[in-house]
Amino acid sequence: MPHSLSNLPNYNDPRRRLLTTEEAAAAAHVTPACIRQWVRRGYLTPKASYRHGKKVHLFLESHILKVERDRRARRRQASITTNSSPVDD
């Protein structure tokens, strides 16, 4: 029975695509150091790791984008909160 291409996983789908730290940083428009900081702070967890001279972490692109959106929303909310002034009655 021939294999159908429709049965193969779609690796262009961000829910399945694995990115290195550098690729994740580019996708989120941040630095690789920022991605490593997100891991240390517990915002992000590597999906897989391997050794290629040094340890390489792999992250799901969808997780990277979600963390980036959440961090941006928190910054925006903090900016609104600190820049708002009380209304005089």
- Return d(Cα 18, Cα 12) in angstroms, integer: 10
3-state secondary structure of 51: strand
pLDDT digits (tens, 9 = 90+) for 42-76: 999 999 999 888 889 999 999 999 999 998 888 88
* pTM more than 0.75: no
Q: Residues 66, 72: contact at Cβ < 8 Å?
A: no
Tokens 């009655």 appear where? 89
